[in-house]
Amino acid sequence: MARRRILYEGKAKVLYAGPEPGTLVQHFKDDATAFNAEKRDTVEGKGVLNNRISEYVFSHLNEIGVPTHFIKRLNMREQLVHEVEIIPVEVVVRNIAAGSITKRLGVEEGTRLPRSIIEFFYKSDELGDPMISEEHITAFGWANPQEIDDMMSLAIRINDFLGGMFAAIGIRLVDFKLEFGRQVENDMVRTILADEISPDTCRLWDAQTNNKLDKDRFRRDMGGLVEAYREVAQRLGILQENEPIKTRGPVLVK
Ligand code: UDP
């Protein structure tokens, strides 16, 4: 059997060429990194959980008409996705102050923001993902004004949907990061949601206790990362209590 062609390897995922033109296989690794990869570790089972949680979120987004790259899950660690050209802008939506905004603006962690706030960051490991404005995005040609509009309106719809989805299972959606891509179909280019939505890319707090159920457990050396991600998956009803998640090899699912 031929070795698969790696098209891109990131901190937590690998992209392989897909079975058909215009498709890719997105593989979730167990690697965890933070602070621009200065802190790194392997957390067994994380990739399996993120694959399942992201599958759940993306398939629901597809159902409500938010265009995404997700086609189907292939196995414990992999999903089939549409190939896109990634827009080099990270779109962060915040509902409650946490993380970088607390330091940048001196807002206390946990403060409910006056309204949901969208921020943009330039995707660049070298520069440590600096915060940017729409002006930078259009001036440097990273996205055009239509694409910025598309990203913002999709981000608002996704925030409404995710906020409700998590509220229903006793979780507060504090903030999250999105990445979008350009999908070329015939002569048309459209903006679709790409990457992943998981506890690696969201801040999720238990509504009763404010217990952190996300990657801050890793960033802050709190431990219990896999247990927290498992809790999210169980509350969403996508993982049974004793379902194994610690497998490394690909396991085919129908
Ligand atoms: N985030 C992410 N990838 C990044 C930066 C941020 O997924 O490269 C997510 C992060 O998990 C959080 C949200 O985006 O849910 C806002 O992150 P923030 O700007 O507060 O930065 P951080 O505190 O993670 O450095």
CA distance 187 to 154: 22
Q: What is the pLDDT of residues 204-229, one digit of tens each?
A: 999 999 999 999 999 999 999 999 99
Q: Is 109 in the pocket of ligand 1 (CB under 6 A)?
A: no
Cα-only R_g, the chain: 18
Q: What is the pTM of this model?
A: 0.95
Q: How far is the CA of 199 from the centre of ligand 1 (A)?
A: 11
Structure tokens at 78: 């992999």
Instruction: Assess whether 94 and 160 both reside in one domain.
Output: yes
Instruction: Assess whether 52 and 121 both reside in one domain.
Output: no
Ligand 1: residue of 100, 126, 195, 212 to mutate (most ligand atoms within 8 A of CB) is: 100
Task: Please return the burial class of 33, using the count of CB atoms within 10 Å of its CB with bins 0-12, 13-18 and 19+.
Answer: middle
pLDDT at 87: 98
Looking at the domain assignment, is residue 245 inside a domain?
no
Looking at the domain assignment, is residue 251 inside a domain?
no
CA distance 69 to 182: 10
Count of domains for the chain? 2
Q: What is the pLDDT of residues 159-205, one digit of tens each?
A: 999 999 999 999 999 999 999 999 998 899 999 999 999 999 999 99
Alpha carbon 40 to its chain centroid, in Å, reads 18
Q: Which domain holds residue 46?
A: 6-83+224-236
Q: How far is the CA of 141 from the centre of ligand 1 (A)?
A: 23
Q: What is the four-CA torsion angle of 190, 196, 197, 202, rounded to 10 degrees? A: -110
Q: How far is the CA of 177 from the centre of ligand 1 (A)?
A: 6
Q: Is 201 in the pocket of ligand 1 (CB under 6 A)?
A: yes
Q: How far is the CA of 34 from the centre of ligand 1 (A)?
A: 9
CATH number at residue 70: 3.30.200.20
Instruction: Assess whether 58 and 151 both reside in one domain.
Output: no
CA distance 226 to 49: 8
CATH number at residue 96: 3.30.470.20
Residue 160 is classified by DSSP as: H
Instruction: Assess whether 51 and 77 both reside in one domain.
Output: yes
